[in-house]
Structure 1
Amino acid sequence: MPLVRRKKVVLHDVPEFVASEPATAASARDVFYIAQTGEIFPDYEAFSTRMSFYNMKIFQCELTGKSGLDYWQALESERSEAQTLHSRFPAELKAPILAAVQWQIMGRLDHLVDMVYDRFVNRYYAGEKVFVDVDGEKYFGRITKVFPPKNLTNGTSQPSNTPLDPHVIGVDLRIPAEDALARDDPMAYFYAVQLVEDSTALSVDSKPPGTNTSESEKWSSSEMETKASSLSRDRLSFSKSILRRFIRDCVERDAAVASPWTVKRIIAEQHGVATEMPDDIRRAIDGAKAGEKEKRKKVWEDKFEAEGIPSKRRKKEEPVADSEANTPAPAASDVKPKPKGPIKYPIEDLDVTITDREKKAGRKVMRPPISREVPFGEAFERFLMSWAFFQSFGAVLKISTFTLDEFESAIRHTNPDIPCTLLAETHSCLLTVAKERTGVRYTAIESLEAEEMDLDDSAHGVSLADIAHEAKGLGYKSQLATGSSSKDSTRSTWEDTLAIYLRDHATPQAVPNLRRIMQGLMFEPSLSSSTSKRKFAPSTPAERYPYLLSEDKIAIFSFLCEICIASRVVRAHIDWGDASLTELRKEKIEVNREKRRLTDEIAQIDAKIDPEGEGSKVDAGQNKETVSEKPASTVDMSSPAPGPLSEEDELESKQNGNLSDATDDVPASGRRKRPSVLRRVSSKLSIDSPNNKVASHTKDRAQARIKAAELKSAIAERRKLDEELNKVERRLEAIEREFRQLFGVGRTRHMGRDRFFNRYWWLDGMGIGQLITSNGSASYGTGRIFVQGPSVFDLEVISARGEGVVEARQREEDGPDGSLAPGAWGMYSEPQEIEELLTWFNGKGIRENQLKNFITKWLDHLMAGVKRRQALCAAALESSASAAQISEPEAASRPERRSTRGKGTSTSVYDSSREPYLAWTNRHQQQNGR
């Protein structure tokens, strides 16, 4: 079965109505059928979705490991490989090997293959084609008889004629290898081999060096007896790799703990392998499963005990006396309920309750209010996903990153006199990629004509015939300005190209309000002076696009993104992202290994610097050497002086004074040891004789000088390792950021869900987005956390817990604004709100535990982006407010000072061209010289 992300593709079951309804002409209904898989679908949408899935280049052949195939290619590759494999593999070995692996409990398939290979490599069966070594020459032969050792023939020298009797003990994997070898030695067997003339029966490519074909023909039809040491198999028919592929194709295993490998039923029946599990094997497997579960349980219990969490213990049942065994059972009312053990968290979020003790401790019960003021209302989801598409695939679209606020302002831009580079570049990049799809001319017009049931066009103002006439007259007046860097040239062409693309590709199902959009792009409303009735006059898309409704602009963006997602360059970028993620995972493993190595070396150096671990041990009177000990010249002066110092001693004293500076970096625990060390040295000097004092003083100086040098070297090495460790940790942080960038390429993923199944989205740092700029400052894309209401399926899960149960809890914990409806969106844009949200999450629940851990992991970057956005928004509001402070009297008091050259640039009017979204430039355009 082909694989997808290392998991087998699961086929759809037969629909219930097909299985339940009788196959009669009266009950017959149209269904969609995939002949290659046997799947049945009730409607075309499900059939088309499944076929699109099968046609994606994401599948992998289970036998060969080839990837990047569609389902049909992977299936064909498996079939051809299986046919080749089964034709090459010795037929005489299939039944014994399959019988040996049946119901074996082994964690990894590789270990099972190694065990089978070791048992069968020197064991041969009647009918096998082998090479025979006779005096250093290789001959072709076929085994005709197998003679087991005499100890396996029940005291007789007659071999058994039963095919599976030979090697019956040696190939039993339930018998230990040493025991099987001692009881059934493969080298003790004799084999009757008949040399064959037809050397083509064996693979020519696999003939070993020294194979004598002419001599084989000379000795053809002759028989000889030999041992296993003189026999060998064709390496193209039996080797570890071929054996692994054969076993992997013939066996399967459940996902449960300690599940045995079982031969597929159809293959087992073909080779006569038992399919009904014997009772003794079943009991052994059940015992292995129970042992594995108990082992895992013990690991968790040990972990809980180490962390101080009480674990669940089974009470030992006392044996019941015979006299008590016959006593009647007590009444149900007299039976005391068994006390419940401690709950193992995390559990289902809706099962977690906040106790009164937690409320008194300050746990937040009510979630912080969610702001419902998301941009564009019901169109916000399409707006957000369109922006996320630009962030994910900006590299192939050749467009630079921009914030969600800039994208919102660009969509709200309605001034035709001020060109918006952001709108021009986003549409141009999308149209450049989307033009790979070949469309049918006038698709939009034909679909609109097919949907329009009424002929009354008064509600629209323009008849459909006029729209069709203007749309069919549109032509490619100019190409996308890919070879010119002029903004005016780019802007003067993309609107026309957009209108033509919508005409030839859009449908009312793909683009909501398609008729209103086409009418808005090609007709301009005008007011008739005679009738005061609004009329429409033909216009151009370049003049009319700024006046489109914001939701219509978002619908166009969403349609173009849906077209581009299926393009060749976008699919290739997704494949590149998956491959890059694999490389990042490998690099992360290596960096973590390097981090562990550095940590171990630092621990070893710390042990040299502070061998006792804690300074309190020295204070307790333990007589141990310390590396923080200073030269003896610093000993308490109250002790008797050792005598006058020579010039050499004075020089040593100066050197020791310099070396003592190196001990300033010793940890505080080492410095705390010094008083007790001095007391020990002082007491020792006070009881020594004058002659011993001088010798001891000189010896202490030498030891202190050596230890100070060692300490200085260790501290320098510690600093070097600290620097390397900091570099490794910075690389790990960079890998995490790169991983987040690539992880959002194939699919935009939410952070997690809360107890009421609300989804939380934070899209910063994904795709071409950056969390940190090149100069190290914080960057952001959205600067907010968005909250999406539960889906319809989630509401069904909630309602299944009982009517009104969850609703009452939502009223208590969701706050005064209530819960989000399906499809509704909210957001958190203040740092304080996000901190309160984190305290509201309950880590005892599975979903909120994962969500809280995710947010905590990225909290620094998230908060930095939120604060950065707040600062920029505050600066923009202050700038716009200061520009509007000039009052009308002030402007009227100095009309004579105005110059005719400055009429259009008065400082009293706010300059909207300085808005951030209008100052945005596409760096890819500048680099490519477009």
Structure 2
Amino acid sequence: MPLYKRKPFPLAEKPTDLKPNELVFRVRFTNEIFRDYGDYVKQINLYRQRIWMCKLTGKSNLTYEEALVSEKAAGKEAQRFPKELMAPVLRDVQFSMLSLKDLANTIAIKLQGCLSEGSELYGTMNSCVYPCKIVRVLENEKPLYEVAWQDKYDKVRENTLLKEEDLIVKKLPCSKGALKLFIRESTYHSIPWVLHDKLAKDHGIPTHPPEELKGRFSLQDGLVVTNRKRKKSGDRKNDAEVDKDEFLDPKRKNTGREQHKGFTNEEIFENGTSETLPIKYPIDDLLVQPSDSDIQLTERSPLRWDFNVPMHCVGDLLMVWDFCISFGRLLQLSPFSLEDFENAVCHKESNVVLIVESHAALLRLLIKDNGEYFTAIQKKKRKSKITLITWTEYLCDFLEMTGIAELSAHISTIKRGHYGLLDVHVKLAILRELVAQALESDLFKEKLDEDMDKRQALAAARRDEALEEGRKRREEKERLKIQSTGKDAMNGHGNSVDPLNVKKNVDAPKKGSDDSESELEDVTFKNAKKQKINEKDAAEYMDDSPKKSANKDEMEESPEKCKDHQRAAHKMRKNEIKETIENRSKEQRKEYLDREIEKTIIRTNPLGKDRDYNTYWFFRRDARIFVESSDSMRWGYYYTKDELDALLGSLNVKGVRERALKKQLENFYGKISLEIQKRSKEAALRVAMEEAVLRRSTRVRAPPRDNPALAFLKYINKWKEE
């Protein structure tokens, strides 16, 4: 088990009154079970800190899981220890007062000349050396060894008695590293090293401390513990006067200080003096103590909570909206704002265009996928086209197919044409299930694979740009260095240097480099041309291969060909990107690559978490920063640039989570500020237009002003294919 502060860490006990169907939280690598999510997260975060030590190897600064892996590997190595050497080694280990290094060296020297039963070595007979194995040791004044010869070419098969001087010992049967691992695994106490009780009994080794150690150690519950007398503060000695026997393990002298290092800023008193321990930041946010440097932190603005949907539905609202916006081209659904989507979900009318188009887009995707839903509507002989009138029929077919009781209970209401009267949480639950089914479709997976390949190609192109830029900087640096060397030579620096020769030497590398670069460009152009032709053929083969193949099984029989096609397509896409940005400037190329990478959305990741484990989200096409509570039950958001600046100023970089969150916010600061500025301009323009209408002459009848809350009623799906 990994060590925490050099001591075993007790695992959480399993609840005794668990019900068979009760939902719990389980830690994967320790099998600990928690009912409360907060306790589970606290334990997981403790395991993720680099404060653990491998018990067998002594490696520190590990996470709990890394320490487990290290112990498992070391345990396998320790099990390879020769069995015939276990008993003599364990006898030397039991109650030894040496350090691990000295103990391993002592045993290694002893093993070098160890002549025990089962040892394989060499013996001399008739002035010849043969491999042999010790079968029995006869204890006399000078011990004799009965050996069995192992040379298959030797005709002598019977055992022979040999003296010690007739035996030649092989090299050390195990490494010192393996010996240290075996010692660590076999003991539960160091200095003195004490074997596990069962292991000692199996090899007949005494488990009680010897007479000379009984004053220092005693047995409690079958375990050896150190007898320590606590001294009064007035009787303390200086460090130089402390007896060696008082502290048997010198590492334990600073145990208290090591326990506090990096976690507190309190003063520890030792030998009558006080000392403030330095803290190595960042540390866990909850362990950060207030200090004078925290005065510069600003006060965080209060969150806004004014959602139209119930608080527990905000997560589903954001998830469905983000999916529709991110994969609108696949769904053939033109983008819409989160505010419009929220108002449309809360609207009581049934045939709101935005809601109808959202459902229809998801249902059309499931129909095109030719999956379970396509089979269900085929049985009912539905037409493939979903209209404003028939969309509820397709939705009811979907709810019947899923078989979810909570959703199927509302089929009759939808069939009667009263979809708008459903509760908001029911509407969002239906949309959430539609999105879940869409995520499992083959069409979505193909689109995701395509986006991932495109993103990888763009990232590779950007990486090549960086490498090329670095190469140019190095060449420029070398060129300037050569020029400076030539100038120094022409000015008389150096001994007997001919300026003409220096000039020639300066020009020669440049000429050679130009020639080599031109030749390299010619070769590169030819290779690229050949590669382009091959990739074109590969692309044509990829386009024609599904037509030529009889079924999917034939495609699956040649995975290597599929990988070759994927590599060819990746190279072709990468070359297309390079051709696109070839004639652009450095800034334009960088801007193009960043913009295209941003377009290929794989998933939306959170910005990070604060000290209280609240999660921060930023979505495209919305300028707000959403904040999700640690239990995912409450949501809020920041709306203005002042609130964003206050949030940035309130994050304490001494904590691990808030440091990472601040870094991400700084990376997205320009984008978020631009979205906020864009929204502010639109609002100002809208207000100006309304004021202009009000200033009109009373003789001209002004048209009625539009209500911004009803803007979603004007939604038109411009990406829908008729």
User: When the two structures are superposed, what TM-score results if normalisation uses the length of structure 2?
Assistant: 0.49
Bigger CA radius of gyration: 1
For normalisation by structure 1, the TM-score amounts to 0.40
